Chain A
């Protein structure tokens, strides 16, 4: 049970299609395998597959038979291959390797530094409370953050149950009202607290963890590098744990 009013992963299907189209020029389009494993890296296996095919992909790269069944039941008849550590193998016990396969996974979802592709996932959470604390007062479990001076705080409905790593405690930043704000104290299961200094915000305001850098939102790559892990790990986990919305 997830609550789309608290937070969401917004998926840009047109951007997946555009990325696929941009990547087609890397080789023979007949051998272009759109990697939709891990529920389309958290974007939804069916929606990602459909968008990638619209962008020119010929094959769908999956993990297992269950993925194929899910695609077929959604009416996607494109041929599938199992992606097996760098190569694509056709289905069945005697399936042969698809020679020269052009497998595109993280690139398809804008999760690499490739300048031709755009990010396809935006993660945000709502401000569910605000308050002001005095210098020296602690925030969240263990009081690992102490306010250096009087500061305003925003409570935001994103936590480690939504894939926002506990490791981001007192380390990661989230954009609110156009500014990057530090996560104050420990990331909890369902909430984080942002340090606003003298600025204030409103309950219901949207805090953006990452989104579209062309609209001055933080890039998923920036969030990933603040945690020292690949962007694909972030997208596949957050997309599977948050309510997804498509545009």
Chain B
């Protein structure tokens, strides 16, 4: 094999999507494919999602949304982009029927200024406490009025209303849901009508029926990544999608130690903190990583005999005795998403079904 391989189990991804779809019904699912589908590969995962009957894709930004649209996934597929900068190609986005998340009047005006012949499809965002993007409660009526005005003039179509919650506590999320409902009521009073209302991402939609509204944005859980803090994917019925593997290139036998060299390192996105923290599966054993460099790490073999060329599984679904991504994340004090998205784009992705 090349120095390292990211193996992506598309069947597991689809199984996770189906599970989430069953849990959140009658709401539907937006499969979130931002950041190269969390490092799994944008277009392959998009096709797998569509094969699993998902019709709404979350792209993050306009270039990603356009890449999805150009992949000819089907004109009926809805594609959502919500992080914009002044350099973005709104014209092509509107002409390509990309749904645009909008947080303020300035963004709306920039979108309307391109004078597309098609109406811009808008999802108006209210800030319910996360304080990232989204209109404040104070600015919300102004944003809604401007959008309704644009819709009346045929330049926009108000499709959705949305927010993003902090998952700080049950009670904080309850407050955010109440603020969302209040914002919707206010907007409807101003003449806006929404086809899709969406608030929840993976964890909230899994746990709370009142967070689901019409649509939930599923990222982490689709990739079999659980929120951590001791909760495993298996406990939630999710299947890990990504496996990272390599092969031994050298075995060094010293007087006291026996060490295997593996050709993956910090330059491939492996966090330095794995040293003396994380174990990898090799020759049927879980063995400790003892040192790391730019393009290698070493494993303490103890008394075990291992041959050059033998497969090393860093993390996966556990079927070869390896740790899960979740176990890595817990050991490294982070979340699975961070480990997955940091893996170098130069590592080959391999797809299984």
Contact = CB atoms under 8 A, between A and B. Distances in A.
Interface stretch (A9-17, A46-54, A133-141, A175-183): A133-141
Contacts of B295: 37-38, 63, 83
Contacts of A161: 34-35, 39, 341-342
A63 B131 contact: no
Given A155-B133, A204-B85, A237-B269, A143 B103 contact: no
Nearest to B339: A160
A218 interface: no
Interface string B336-352: 01100110111000000
In this complex, the interface size class of chain B, counting residues with CB under 8 Å from chain A, is 35 or more
B133 A128 contact: yes
B300 interface: no
B296 A241 contact: no
Contact of B83 (A4, A6, A39): A6
B231 interface: no
A166 interface: yes
Interface in A158-192: 160-161, 163, 165-167, 185, 188-191
Interface string B241-280: 0000000000000000000000101111100100000000
A42 B344 CA distance: 10
A157 interface: yes
Nearest to A163: B342
Nearest to A230: B272
Interface stretch (B60-68, B92-100, B210-218, B309-317): B60-68
A143 B34 contact: no
A211 interface: no
Interface of B: 2-3, 34-36, 39, 42, 60-64, 67, 83-88, 103-104, 106, 127, 129-133, 136, 166-168, 172, 263, 265-269, 272, 293-296, 333-335, 337-338, 341-342, 344-346
15 contacts: A3-B61, A41-B267, A41-B294, A63-B3, A129-B132, A129-B133, A131-B136, A137-B129, A142-B168, A157-B85, A160-B337, A188-B132, A191-B83, A236-B294, A237-B269
Interface of A: 1-6, 37-39, 41-42, 63-64, 66, 83, 85, 105, 126, 128-129, 131, 133, 137-143, 153, 155, 157, 160-161, 163, 165-167, 185, 188-191, 193, 203-204, 229-230, 232-233, 236-237, 240-241
